Amino acid sequence: MPARRPYHHGNLRRALLDAALATLEQSGDVTALTMQHIARRAGVSSGAPYHHFQDKAELLAALATEGFEQLIAALASSLAGAPTPRDRVAGFARIYLEFAAAHAAHYRVMFLPDIGDRRRFAALHDAADRGLQLLVRTLADAHPGASPDRLLTRAVTLWSTCHGFAWLRLEGVIANMPVLPDLARVEAAVLTELADAAMRPLPADTPAR
């Protein structure tokens, strides 16, 4: 039996997360990811992961939290340099789609129902909520005077559209539609449509006649 690779105990948690990410980057199959497989890939005993994660769901939640934190950082950086509200909305959508493509392994676990327990995985849902609130604030700049409920509804609509396109692209569905033009052109058109839709007046900020 080959000797296990040595590791520094203080880095074990990171090694396990990296092993899970590497597996997802290769297969994309979250259901096939097991704690035993992650341990083997990290070069540790089958029981070692349980020193840091109670179960697979807890490990997935850690990856998802990390994904949301990275996404929020990228969004905040992009929004800070955008000159107009429309530019900020378009930038939000663009960065979101770029993140989903560049960090597919993280993105695959960020919305799993397995980690939907808001109490158990509070850090994850706090990060997700901060992402949504960042979009709400971006829309508030474009729609001064709009009610919080209206802004939240539009934010969820925009986020849902971004997520739908990102997921269809990630799964190869869009690329497998011969009736569509070049994927880059489709994405550019989607970004334009999203920005235009986000800027449409909300009932609370429609000028009175």
pLDDT value of position 182: 86
| The pLDDT of residue 99 | 97
Would you give the distance in Å from CA 27 to the centre of its chain?
18
What was the pLDDT predicted at 205? 52
**pTM of the predicted model, to two decimals?**
0.89
Q: pLDDT at position 3, please? A: 42
- Tokens coding 47: 């029981």
pLDDT number for residue 4: 46
pLDDT (0 to 100) of residue 110: 97
What pLDDT does residue 10 have? 62
User: Residues 5, 10, 11, CA angle at the centre, nearest 5°?
Assistant: 55
pLDDT of 1:
38
**Rounded Cα–Cα distance for residues 162 and 5 (Å):** 41
pLDDT at 70: 98
Q: What is the mean pLDDT of each run of 10 residues along the chain (209 residues)?
A: 47 95 93 93 93 96 98 93 91 96 96 96 97 96 93 96 95 89 89 94 61
Residue 13 is predicted with a pLDDT of 94
